[in-house]
Amino acid sequence: MQISGSRALVVGGGSGLGEATARELAARGASVTIVDIDPGRATGVAEDLGAACAVCDVTDDDALAAAVELAAGDGELRISVCCAGIGWAEKIAGSRGPHAAEPFRRTIAVNLVGTFNTLRLAAAAMVGNEPLEDGERGVCVNTASIAAFDGQIGQVAYSASKGGIVGLTLPAARDLASAGVRVNTIAPGLFDTPLLAALPEPAREELGAGVPWPRRLGRPAEYAALVCHIVENRMLNGETIRLDGALRMPPR
């Protein structure tokens, strides 16, 4: 898939991995639409890039459908990237009782169902596209986490949500193969995103030092570069790629 001249949707594009991806796609000539739940972030990045934007919760089916329609515009949506997600830390049971049910449901709703919503709506828009070289019509990139494989203490909700994204990747790619729409997932390790930016610098350095190589936090631009490679490499399909510097998370 050629990035230049393609219409691209970046969900969660107002900050972190999504913002870096939106900026890189725009720099490579894509027409980008940014979707984010935060109005200030969405409009700020969009104005900076001269891009379109929509404000919505990924669990809102109608709002997300409208955002996909906006991204397609009067042309064809070819690239979809979903980076929207939340975290939650709580043990499944302990001295305070069982894990709260609602935070688990909300984490699954945003991370897993939100990714599914983005994928199903973007893919539906893509299957009607005119085929390009090799019959390709579009490419969708999801965001999981190494927590899908190496979930730590207190990460049952987060790990379950990200594991679900890994699990749907191959069957989704198989579902869409006949239409020429590829589906892949990136599972990042420890990245320098707004979530970690709140930590003191010594804590951030300690986290980065635990990565085998390079011994630092990942950079959002490195995630964005992998998205672009996935878009451009037609043989990548149905795959979950760990982007973690060989990190395997310990129990805590």
Asked if the model's pLDDT at residue 62 lies above 80, the reply is yes
Q: Per-residue pLDDT averaged across 80-108, rounded? A: 96
- Domain presence at residue 250: no
- Domain presence at residue 194: yes
- Domain presence at residue 2: no
The total domain count for the chain is 1
Tell me the average pLDDT of the chain.
Answer: 96
- Domain presence at residue 249: no
Residue 200's pLDDT is 85
For the stretch 131-176, pLDDT in tens is: 998 899 999 999 999 999 999 999 999 999 999 999 999 999 999 9
- Domain presence at residue 137: yes
- Domain presence at residue 212: yes
Asked if the model's pLDDT at residue 51 lies above 90, the reply is yes
Distance set, CA 8 to CA 4, 36, 106, 111, 232 (Å): 10, 14, 27, 20, 13
Catalogue the active-site residues: 158
pTM: 0.97
- Domain presence at residue 248: no
Distance CA 119, CA 98 (A): 33
Q: What is the CATH number of the domain that holds 235?
A: 3.40.50.720
- Domain presence at residue 251: no
Tokens of residue 39, six digits: 């109005």
For the stretch 207-236, pLDDT in tens is: 999 999 999 999 999 999 999 999 999 999
Q: Comparing 200 with 24, which gets the higher pLDDT?
A: 24
Q: Which domain, by its residues, includes 22?
A: 7-243
Residue 234's pLDDT is 97
